[in-house]
A = this chain, B = another copy of it.
Amino acid sequence: MTIQIDRPKDGTLSVTTGPIQGSRKVYATPEGRPDIQVPFREIVLKGANEPPVRVYDPSGPYTDADTAIDLSKGLPLVREPWIASRRYDVTEARPVKPEDNGHVPADKLVAPCPAERVVRRAAPGQMVTQYEFARAGIITEEMIYVAHRENLCREAMWAGAEGKIADGESFGASIPPFITPEFVRQEVARGRAIIPANINHPELEPMAIGRNFLVKINANIGNSAVVSTAAEEVEKLVWAIRWGADTVMDLSTGRNIHNIRSWIMRNSPVPIGTVPIYQALEKVGGDPVKLDWEVFKDTLVEQAEQGVDYFTIHAGVRLPYVPLTANRVTGIVSRGGSIMARWCLAHHKESFLYERFDEICDIMRAYDVSFSLGDGLRPGSIADANDAAQFAELETLGELTKIAWSKGCQVMIEGPGHVPMHKIKVNIDKQLRECGEAPFYTLGPLTTDIAPGYDHITSGIGAAMIGWFGTAMLCYVTPKEHLGLPNRDDVKTGVITYKIAAHAADLAKGHPAAQVRDDALSRARFDFRWEDQFNLSLDPDTARAYHDETLPKDAHKVAHFCSMCGPKFCSMKITQDLRAEVAAMSPDAQDRLAGMRAKSQEFLESGGKLYVDQP
């Protein structure tokens, strides 16, 4: 999956910086820890006497008006002091080999990011993962950071609305009124949340993925077939997080991927995930049959040293499951899944990922790379949803989850795919059961196959639902899914669609802070505060542009009507008048109205002559 970026005519390329329209970047510190600076975005309301609305902000320093960005230096080292204090071995980096960059000729080689970082690795037995710390009862700085980040404006909100409890149906999730660092520790220790945070990614602004936290979204990026510059690749990342992507997966293949990855890692404030089997396959010339443990292991070390925060590992695609896919309508649709299935069948051997899983754990643990256990057998069509192959693999992922935990690793589980609405809930229920509530991370699911070109929508429906039911992170789908490479607009559309799904899920789960923004926007709408309405929306630029299409003048941004109904027909205007009238009514008049209501109720309950029996 790659994004196409149009190269500007003058040949220069820089990344998108500056605040989102109507917002400003703020940093806040948890009590007693002035050294921990947690970023938020504040939307300032212009037309009302209301406090700013504080929203979760994964966009990093790029949206900070006061930070200068220099890609060659990389981002500020937020985590460096915390990591340094844990005294890991600083090791010689694995030497870069020609195959790491796809044997690219010297004249086509993209230089690596010059930002210098030490490479660290935990000694055997030394605690390194957030899971290990959590299990040992230790609250890390990452946990403190995450707790403060997740709380948003909850304290302010609760102070202003005492006793107001968000309703919702959480399906067993239990989001507390306030997130404390100790709560984060407990969730990580139970394996119910992860904080993907490679010790070689000091630029990371820590975040949590778990059902008792805000629902997160992931965006996929990757290099183009044409030669990409480093800036182009970093821009894809910056663009995705600007609109709200919480993590980014780099699915690049081909040339220069090692060096380009160094630019991405050094300039990413969000966790970066990869699928190491893609690079391993490149190293053996693209033939799955030639893959082996040595080249895979070497790739894991290579990427872990660079700082990748989570790896998709398709260790659940086992030899005996391959025949289960033979009669599917769409077979195996996961790239990693099909590669491993090909390998298993060609060698007639059990998957080396499955057989060497212990060793994979040891490598990943040493850097705190989290597992994203891949669903290589996910359904690629409505017809194949919830079939034997899919669920056999999920059971194996449950088995592997427990091994990974016993090895001290953090784990999340990937999920489907194409699933009709009535088959969605069983997916998350089974996943929670089989995998001991390890975070679920799904692609959609798409609720029908018949809308290529609109699969952000077919999947947004499924994503909202499965997010509500307990999925912790939703992998976006763009309008180009099944058809081509997403461009900038597609990526933005995909991210915004998934922000909608995640937010709808937070609301339905009863997340205590979720509705604050809806309410602020609705008040702005009712008061005709157009600027506030735009700025509170997920995409202020588009909201404003759409309004401009019909009512372009600045005066219309304070107009007490809109283009849909015009001034005479405006229901909101009429209601505002009504509200004033009701408020001004005498107690007598109010009583009279109440009396009429009671009478009507009585009439209704009596049934009587109006009732028509049904045949």
Contact = CB atoms under 8 A, between A and B. Distances in A.
Interface of A: 1, 4, 135, 167-169, 186, 189-191, 225, 253, 278, 281, 286, 288, 318-323, 325-326, 329-335, 337-339, 341-342, 345, 348, 350, 380-383, 392, 395-396, 399, 402-403, 405-406, 418, 420-422, 436, 447-454, 456-458, 460-461, 464-465, 468, 479-480, 482-485, 487, 496-497, 499-501, 503-505, 507-510, 515, 517-519, 521-523, 525-526, 533-534, 536-539, 542-543, 545-547, 549-551, 562-566, 568-569, 571-572, 574-579, 581-583, 585, 589-590, 593-594, 596-597, 600, 604, 610-612, 614-615
A464 B583 contact: no
27 contacts: A135-B615, A253-B569, A318-B600, A326-B579, A329-B519, A332-B571, A333-B572, A341-B578, A345-B578, A381-B525, A392-B597, A396-B600, A421-B504, A447-B464, A449-B519, A451-B537, A452-B537, A453-B545, A457-B457, A457-B497, A458-B500, A461-B461, A479-B546, A482-B525, A482-B564, A483-B546, A483-B562
Contacts of A483: 543, 546-547, 550, 562
A125 to B, nearest CB: 18
Contact of A329 (B320, B452, B526): B526
Given A337-B571, A338-B571, A341-B574, A518 B457 contact: no
B326 A596 contact: no
B332 A590 contact: no
Contacts of A447: 464, 500, 504, 507-508
B329 A504 contact: no
Given A447-B504, A504-B447, A614-B436, A525 B575 contact: no
Contacts of A503: 448, 450
B382 A518 contact: yes
A450 B523 CA distance: 12
Given A504-B420, A547-B483, A538 B450 contact: yes
Nearest to A550: B484
Contact of A405 (B436, B453, B612): B612
A539 B332 contact: no
Given A337-B571, A484-B564, A611 B402 contact: yes
A129 B503 CA distance: 45
Contacts of A253: 566, 569
A584 to B, nearest CB: 11
Contacts of A167: 422
Nearest to A326: B582
A389 to B, nearest CB: 11
| Copies of this chain assembled into the complex | 2
A256 to B, nearest CB: 16
B420 A508 contact: yes
Contacts of A420: 168, 504, 507-508
A547 to B, nearest CB: 5
A582 B381 CA distance: 21
Contact of A508 (B422, B510, B564): B422
Chain B CB within 10 A, most for which of A487, A525, A585, A589: A525
Contact of A190 (B348, B547, B568, B614): B614
Contact of A522 (B288, B449, B568, B611): B449
Contacts of A225: 566
B574 A338 contact: yes
A364 to B, nearest CB: 16
Contact of A460 (B338, B436, B460, B545): B460
Contacts of A614: 190-191, 436
A458 B518 CA distance: 12
Contact of A578 (B332, B396, B551): B332
Contact of A325 (B331, B406, B575): B575
Chain B CB within 10 Å — which of A461, A542, A562 has the most? A461
A522 B564 contact: no
A562 B484 contact: yes
B564 A612 contact: no
Contacts of A510: 422
B564 A1 contact: yes
Contact of A381 (B331, B335, B519): B519
A454 B497 contact: yes
A2 to B, nearest CB: 8
B460 A339 contact: no
A595 to B, nearest CB: 8
A543 B576 contact: no
Contact of A496 (B337, B454, B575): B454
Contacts of A501: 461
Given A319-B596, A451-B537, A519-B382, A525 B350 contact: no
